[in-house]
Amino acid sequence: MTVSHAPPKQPAPPGLSVAPGESSAPSRTPPDLEAVVPASVRRSRLRSAPRWARRAVGPLLLLALWQVFSATGVLDPDVLASPGTIARAGADLVADGTLPAAMGVSLQRVLVGLLLGGVVGTALALVSGLSRLGEDLVDATVQMLRTVPWVGLIPLFIIWLGIGEAPKVALIALGVAFHLYLNVYAGIRGVDAQLIEAGESLGLGRWGLVRHVVLPGALPGAMTGLRYSLATAWLALVFGESINADAGIGFLMNQAREFFRTDVIVVCLVVYAFLGLTADVIVRILERLLLQWRPTFTGQ
């Protein structure tokens, strides 16, 4: 005996005739199907625009809002000039060579201060991070000095070094050195101890461990310290050039302040921001080149 799984035939409804050979089941029209787009695909379409364009949306909206407020009189031009006036002032400063000359002087100060502070901060971090004796001799002193507001040392720098370039460079170097020291030291001490044991088991000596294990492991911290140091360098430059400066972007800002030229002041601030952003981009490129061995999460 076999059992069929086919459903039993239903009798036709009353009044409905069924031709011989046709099924009594009602015919069904296939529904219109709409392709289902996954959410990830929709998000990717929204992100199909170039990244630089997406990052420029916020600043452009801010500029447009600023221009609208200035054009409608909501924003007094004596309080803050409009973006158009600032653009014309910047073009004039570039055309007569005032702004490029000031940028050259400020860049030279930052580079010299960054070099001096970077060498001193990195050297102290290596001494303190690689040796317990060095840590005992160096770390306590550095930790004590870094709690002193370095801006408060400006009067002492003027007394010790005069009013020339030396106090400005020293102020930048001081701000840079502390950031690099802290991050390089933390990077060295953050190296995984199992990597040290693995290096020792492979026969690496002290110098080999430092060269092949410790320094590469401390490199991410050093790059982070460099980014903080660059930001501090520009901040120290603003303070340094606001005191007894006869050239540079800070000197240009002081002159504009005396004549209530808010357009020139904003141009100088934009130049500071542009130089700082350029320096940050350079450090990011260095990170990609030097830390290729260290894949990290880049967002979704």
pLDDT mean over 248-272: 86
| Res. 182: pLDDT tops 50 | yes
- Residue 124: predicted pLDDT: 92
24 secondary structure, DSSP code: S
In single-letter form, the type of residue at position 83 comes to P
- Residue 181: predicted pLDDT: 92
Q: Residue 128 in 3-state DSSP?
A: helix
pLDDT mean over 266-278: 87
Tell me which residue of 277, 194, 267, 162 sits closest to 230, measured CA to CA.
277
Encode pLDDT of 189-203 as tens digits. Answer: 888 888 888 888 888
Buried b / exposed e over 248-280, threshold 16 CB at 10 Å, is: bbbbbbbebeeeebbbbbbbbeebbeebbeebe
In single-letter form, the type of residue at position 38 comes to P
In single-letter form, the type of residue at position 240 comes to G
Tell me which residue of 114, 138, 115 sits closest to 127, measured CA to CA.
138
**pLDDT class of 8 with cuts at 50, 70, 90:** low
C-alpha 188/C-alpha 216 separation (Å) is 9
pTM of the model: 0.70
Please answer whether residues 169 and 112 qualify as being in contact, where contact means their C-beta atoms are separated by less than 8 angstroms. Answer: yes
**pLDDT class of 112 with cuts at 50, 70, 90:** very high
pLDDT mean over 103-120: 90
Tell me which residue of 276, 241, 269, 235 sits closest to 89, measured CA to CA.
269
pLDDT mean over 230-250: 83
